[in-house]
Amino acid sequence: MSKSGNAKVIVGCIQCGKEREITRQQIRRTKYTGLCAHCSRDSRKGETHPSWRGGQRLGGQNGDYMTIHKPEHPFANKGGYVLQHRLVAEDILGRYLYPEEIPHHLNGDTKDNCWSNIIVLSNQSSHAKLHKHLEHSASIYQQKIGALIEEIDGMIPTEFRDSIRWADFKATHTRKEE
């Protein structure tokens, strides 16, 4: 003989009406929602999910990029998210980006997605060339600034040259050759 709490009853899902058999004990639980498993899963997606944060989250490679929940977007990932800088670039161009087009952050900050910080490159090759050029330019800049600081160093009065502020400035703006 079974306990009265374990007696099975047939209930309908309050959303879809699908009938299923459950125990009276399951109904008395505080977590019982009246939904079948399928409707319960669906009710916890997107805005109704307890972890929903307004449709924005960090994602992409290494979690360095902002993503926006746009499940209707043709290039959304399986979770329905699209990289925000791609959306900004699409807004600038007035069309979807082609899969081979690469948006680039001019200031290098992957979380700064304002339209003035995004340029679109036609392919990965162009993007790699831009990075190589920027690294080369930074190297030249670093060499020039280092030479300029050494030149200025000789013109600065000794009491200021030996100060912590000048030493910090030199350490910040000159790179030790490895």
Separation CA 155–CA 89 (nearest Å)? 48
Separation CA 176–CA 140 (nearest Å)? 14
Whether residue 1 has pLDDT greater than 50: no
The full DSSP string for 7-22 is -EEEEE-TTT--EEEE
Residue closest to 7 by CA, chosen among 18, 22, 19: 22
Higher-confidence residue of 2 and 169: namely 169
Whether residue 178 has pLDDT greater than 50: no
Is the full-model pTM beyond 0.75? no
Phi first, then psi, for residue 139 (nearest 5°) are -65, -45
